[in-house]
Amino acid sequence: MRVLFERVEEGMLAFLLALMTLLTFIQVVLRYLFNTGLLWSLEATTYSFAALVVIGMSYGIRTKSHIAVDMLTKKLPKKIRNAVTLFAVVICLIYTGLMFFGAYDLVSRLFDLGNLARDIAVPKWLLTLTLPIGFLLLAFRFIEAGVQVIKGDSEVLLTGIHEDKEQLLAPQSGNQRDQK
Amino acid sequence: MTAAFLLLVLFVLLLIGVPVAISLGFASITTMLLFGNQSLLSLAQKFFHTMHVYPLLAVPFFILAGAFMTTGGVAKRMIDFANAIVGHYRGGLAMAALLASAFFAAVSGSAPATVVAVGSVMIVGMVNSGYSKSFSAGVICNAGTLGILIPPSLVMVVYGAITESSIGKLFIAGIVPGMVMTIAMMATIMIIAKRQDLPRQPKADFGEVVKSFKEASWGLMLIVIILGGIYAGLFTPTEAAAVSAVYAFFIAVFVYKDIGFKQVPTVLVDAAKITVMLMFIIANAFMFAFVLTTLQIPQMASEFIVGLGLPVWGFLLVLNLMLLAAGNFMEPTSVVLILTPIIFPIAMEMGIDPIHLGVLMVVNMQIGLVTPPVGLNLFVTAGVAKMSLEDTVRASLPWLGVLLIVLMLITYIPWFSLVLPNAIGL
């Protein structure tokens, strides 16, 4: 179940990125080769982009790809470091909660207004629904992270700036083929 | 009071290891709730709206293009070509590494990506040909910073989006400073090569040069597509980025055949991961900028600084010191996102050209990339060269002088940044 969810998560991220790239590319091709364009293309692209980012936020916590500064915390003794990290996770949860309420308000306001998006015949609230969902998923990941900290892992938020960075910034997956 | 609260919360959170994005967001929300009159709804809207800022769409596209080029063998062909041109000079491999970094920087918008693309092949190559490991790592680490100066540049996209400056103009403005930086580093290599009597490569005959150029031309074409396309008005920087992503996919899979169809989803997921990481910071930074402007903090800072009566050169010096200090602790996009909303109005008040300011910030960020404790290029180089971080810092340090000299030139002679955009009439 969990593995399935994670596969779907990755699949969606890849799909959304490919979709927005192709939409923008096709728009250029249509303009120069056929002197035409798709009216809905830009809006579809930006909403895909938004969906990619808000769904990806929680994926970033799971794969530890958000940047944090660990200069100070890595020098602390283990116990204090754990406490500090737990505090940091609580801050993250408060942030996520506040943003979730803001997002929820936004969607219900849009729902009441009932407007359609500018160029796509879909209600605006439906397209914005990704935002509260994104923060909900993020909250789950932070609760999970909090549990891990209590169990003694103080590196749940740390990602960012340490040696793994190399992989993060320049995907090297293609090299797997060279190694065979 | 308000400003002090906002900045204090931000710095404390950053220090205790809260992710940069959430530090920015949390500080913004709490400040707004305590001192402002905007609701959570409008903050959430600001967050969501960031993904509708058209120029920022270039971010995922350039990242995707970079991912295909790094895995797809574009860098390797550029290295072969650079080697064929300059390899036979004394210290030729180091020059080739620098030149290849400049080429790759001209198709990719990220500095660490440039280090990985060129460094993973060149450091081993240089060490095998008798260069010291520390010299090799130093060259790669610093040459890699060209990634954010030579267009395209993710840092410029972000600066352009937040200040509403023309990204096309910023890209064109980065060309001459990029060349100045390349030439300065090239001269340094020549001097060191002479002193240490570094080895040469066998001279490539004309046929080999042509052959390597042909191989590399698929990748080099991207420079023409991106800059030519933007300059000629064929497409926006965002469209140029999407076209380069599709083009890079095409050459990686169908021309060079270095990756197969099966690996495409992996490349997509990797690029999506980096996109999300950056955009999460950017979206929160847009909330941060929104809070700043709503509470009129930049105006207050601006009045204060202008009231000090600093001359422009003095202000630029303070600006450099501030940016260098911030660059030591955070990666370039975060620094630009946090400081630009405050610096920009002041600089405009002092009569500094917005494009010149953008280039100047980028060069400062380049230096931040190679200075400890948080220099992204240092971490990446240490990883690629399999050296300890301390050794990498020591290897890279002598180059700091070169970077600082170029920084001074670019700060105090706006001509370097402005000559090309003005000449073209953008």
Give the tens place of pLDDT for each residue, B359-397: 999 999 999 999 877 788 998 898 888 888 888 999 999
Question: If you average pLDDT over every residue of chain A, what do you get?
Answer: 84
Q: Reply yes or no on whether the pLDDT at A164 is more than 90.
A: no
Residue A59's contacts (CB-CB under 8 Å, 6 or more residues apart) are A9, A10, A13, B273, B276
Rounded CA-CA distance B11/B113 in Å is 28
Could you give the CA distance from residue A40 to residue B172 in angstroms, rounded to a whole number? 31
Beta carbons within 8 Å of B224's beta carbon, 6+ residues apart: none
Read off the pLDDT band of B202 (50, 70, 90): confident
3-state DSSP helix/strand/coil percent for chain B, to nearest 5?
A: 80, 0, 20
For residue B132, give every residue at least 6 positions away whose Cβ sits within 8 Å of its Cβ, in sequence order, or none: none
Least confident window among A8-17, A169-178, B44-53, B299-308: A169-178
Cα separation of A9 and A58, whole Å?
10
The arithmetic mean of pLDDT across residues B69-97, rounded, is 91
pLDDT at B362: 96
Distance of alpha carbon A124 from alpha carbon A161, whole angstroms: 38
Cβ–Cβ gap A53/B382 under 8 Å: no
Residues 1-30 on A with a CB inside 8 Å of B are 10-11, 13-14, 16-18, 20-22, 24-25, 27-28
- A20 min Cα distance to partner chain B (Å): 9
CA pair distance B111, B117, nearest whole angstrom: 10
* Average pLDDT for B2-6: 88
Q: Which range (A65-69, B19-23, B203-207) has the least confidence?
A: A65-69
Test B277 with A175 for CB contact under 8 angstroms. Answer: no
The band of B185, judged by pLDDT with boundaries at 50, 70 and 90, is: very high
Distance CA A55, CA B363 (A): 34
- Determine contact: B64 vs chain A, CB below 8 A: yes
Task: Look at residue B409 in the predicted model and tell me its pLDDT.
Answer: 96
How does pLDDT run across A108-138, given as a tens digit for each residue? 999 999 888 888 888 999 999 999 999 999 9
One-letter amino acid identity for B402?
V
On the question of pLDDT at B426 being above 80, the answer is no
Q: Given this model, what pLDDT does residue B207 score?
A: 92
By Cβ distance, the residue of B67, B70, B272 closest to A56 is B272
B226 or A74, which is more confident: B226
Taking 60 as the threshold, does the pLDDT of residue A167 lie above it? no
Cα–Cα distance, B162 to B169 (Å, whole number): 15
Q: Is omega for the bond preceding B373 within 30 degrees of 0, making it cis?
A: yes
- Residue that has been written with the tokens 């935002």 in this structure: A131
CB nearest to B71's CB, from A50, A69, A172? A172
Torsion region of B335: left, alpha or beta (phi above 0 gives left; psi -120 to 50 gives alpha): alpha
Angle between helices B354-369 and B167-196 (to 10 degrees): 40
pLDDT tens by residue, B228-255 = 888 888 889 999 999 999 999 999 999 9
B 192-211 residues with CB < 8 A to A: none
The predicted model gives A142-164 an average pLDDT of 73
Q: Name the burial class of residue B425, with classes exposed (0-12), middle (13-18) and buried (19+) by CB atoms within 10 angstroms of its CB.
A: exposed
Largest separation between any pair of C-alpha atoms in chain A: 65
Residues in chain B: 426
- Asked whether the bond before B152 is cis by omega within 30 degrees of 0, the reply is yes
C-beta of residue B69 within 8 angstroms of C-beta of residue B108? yes
pLDDT (0 to 100) of residue A176: 31
Strand, helix or coil for residue B72: coil
Answer for the pair B418, B356: CB distance below 8 angstroms, yes or no: yes
CB contact under 8 A, A67 and B26: no
| pLDDT band, very low/low/confident/very high, at B415 (cuts 50, 70, 90) | very high
Would you state the pLDDT for residue A21? Answer: 96
Q: Is B295 helix (H, G, I), strand (E, B) or coil?
A: coil
Q: Comparing C-alpha atoms, which of B270, B281, B280 is closest to residue B333?
A: B281
Helix and strand tally (H, E) in chain A?
A: 7, 0
A72 touches chain B (CB under 8 A): yes
Share of chain B above pLDDT 70, in %: 100
pTM over 0.90, yes/no:
no
Note whether A94 contacts B: Cβ–Cβ < 8 A: yes
Type of residue found at B366: Q
- What average pLDDT does range B250-271 have in this prediction? 91
For the cut 50, the answer to whether the pLDDT of residue A165 exceeds it is no
Which of A17, A56, A170 is opposite residue B70, by nearest beta carbon?
A: A170
Residue A70, phi then psi, degrees to nearest 5:
-115, 15
**How many angstroms away from the CA of B340 is the closest CA of chain A?**
20
User: Cβ–Cβ of A25/B60 closer than 8 Å?
Assistant: no
- Tens-digit pLDDT profile for residues B212-234: 999 999 989 988 888 888 888 88
Give me the pLDDT at residue A158, please. 62
Computed over every residue of chain B, the mean pLDDT equals 91
